[in-house]
Amino acid sequence: MVLYRLGDAIDTLSQITRVVTQVYRENGRAEHDLNSYLQPLQERSRTDSLDDSDHHYLAGLLGRPLPADNGSATGLYDWGRSEAEHPDLPEVVNTRACLYALRASGSEEPETVFASLNEPTRAVARAVAQHLLPPCDDDLP
C-alpha cells in the first residue's frame, strides 16, 4: 500500500510540475531556463529497477558501511552520510523516520528498530509505524 500511495503522489507532483511549466512557457520563459529548473536528465522512471546508487544512498543515510560493490555510486553514499550527520534537518528526520518505520513494520520487535534514532526522528518513526502496522498491534506507544 505504501508504494501504491507513493506512486499516486509521484503522479500528482508530475502533473503539477507540467502545469506550472506550461504557465511559465506561456508567459515567455525560455525553454533553456525551464530545462535547467526541471533537471530532466535526473528523472528516472519509477519502473526502473533499483541500482547501486539507491543501495549506496540508503547505506549512507542509515550509517551503514559502504557496500563492497561501490562502483560509481560513492557520491550518493557520501550524500547520504552527509544527511545522516545532520539528523535534525526536517527532510532528514522525515526520510529516516519513514525508512525506519517501514523496517519496523516487518519486525517482531518494532521498538528495537528505533533504538539508534534521535528523539525527534524516533517520534516521527513511531507515528508513521502506527499507520503501517496492523491495527491489532499495540506494542508501540
DSSP letter string over 98-137?
A: HHHHHHHHT-SSHHHHTTTS-HHHHHHHHHHHHHHS-TT-
- Predicted TM-score (pTM) of the model is 0.52
pLDDT value at position 136? Answer: 46
Question: Which residue reads 542509515 in cell numbers?
Answer: 62
73 or 86, greater pLDDT? 86
pLDDT value at position 73? Answer: 59
pLDDT value at position 70? Answer: 59
